[in-house]
Amino acid sequence: MGRSWRDRLAFFRQAREHYHTTGAIAPSSRFLARAQAGPLARLKQQLDRPVRVLEVGPGTGAVTRRIVRLLDPGDTFDLVEINQAFADLLVRQFTDNPAFARLSDSANVHAVPLQEFVSESPYDVIISGLPMNNFSSELVEELFDAYFRLLAPEGTLSYFEYMYMRPMRKMVSGREDRGRVNRIASIMAKHRRQRRLRTSWVFVNLPPAWVQHLSGTVTG
């Protein structure tokens, strides 16, 4: 069995057992990965210094594979993954997969909650795969606080949401969950109003998604 199929099986197993923190029904497509890593690709063309990248919630590494293709050995790449099984899989990738292994000296996998993660320097790019709509509104606020604590003022945060997922969830949820979803929508809308740089629409994904790119500095 090839590595990609082993990764898919690991993803589906963890998604079934830990849907609350996995939050997806399939790994991200290469089109979604390209959209999320778009700011990094542009930055690599513009800068003549090493870049600092943080990936949050990488899972089995569907987006990570795109990131490692863009990075050079001198760049810093940190990955924060709370699911220990996914974290272990990623560590093995940086040992066994040649595409990943060339970054092994500058890449580190951290199996901790993002709120507890501390970095000595801010990041140029943060790419997040966390399923915000699965969380409490309090946790969502904490996560955004952590993003902007870790992101450089001139940096970019990129995160994705499945298209129209919140309206669909509200249609089938009870009053308490609808209130939670509404509070999350309000929190995320506030950050988009204050910091949005652009939105990428990705239709070739299961389900279709959009990627929000936010600035490390309040712009609106």
Q: Indicate which CATH number applies to the domain containing 66.
A: 3.40.50.150
Whether residue 17 lies inside any domain: the answer is no
Classify the phi-psi angles of 98: left when phi > 0, otherwise alpha if psi is within -120 to 50, otherwise beta. alpha
Whether residue 21 lies inside any domain: the answer is no
Whether residue 63 lies inside any domain: the answer is yes
CA dist 141 and 199 (Å) reads 21
Instruction: List the domain range (segments joined by +) for residue 119.
Output: 3-10+29-215
The residue to which tokens 């089938």 are assigned = 172
Whether residue 38 lies inside any domain: the answer is yes
CA dist 38 and 70 (Å) reads 10
Residue 126: closest CA among 97, 93, 154, 92: 154
Measured from the Cβ of residue 54, the count of other Cβ atoms closer than 10 Å reads 25
**Mean pLDDT for each 10-residue chunk of the chain (220 residues)?**
47 45 65 97 96 96 96 97 96 96 97 97 97 94 98 98 74 82 94 97 92 94
Task: Give pTM, 2 decimals.
Answer: 0.86
Measured from the Cβ of residue 180, the count of other Cβ atoms closer than 10 Å reads 20
Number of domains in the chain: 1
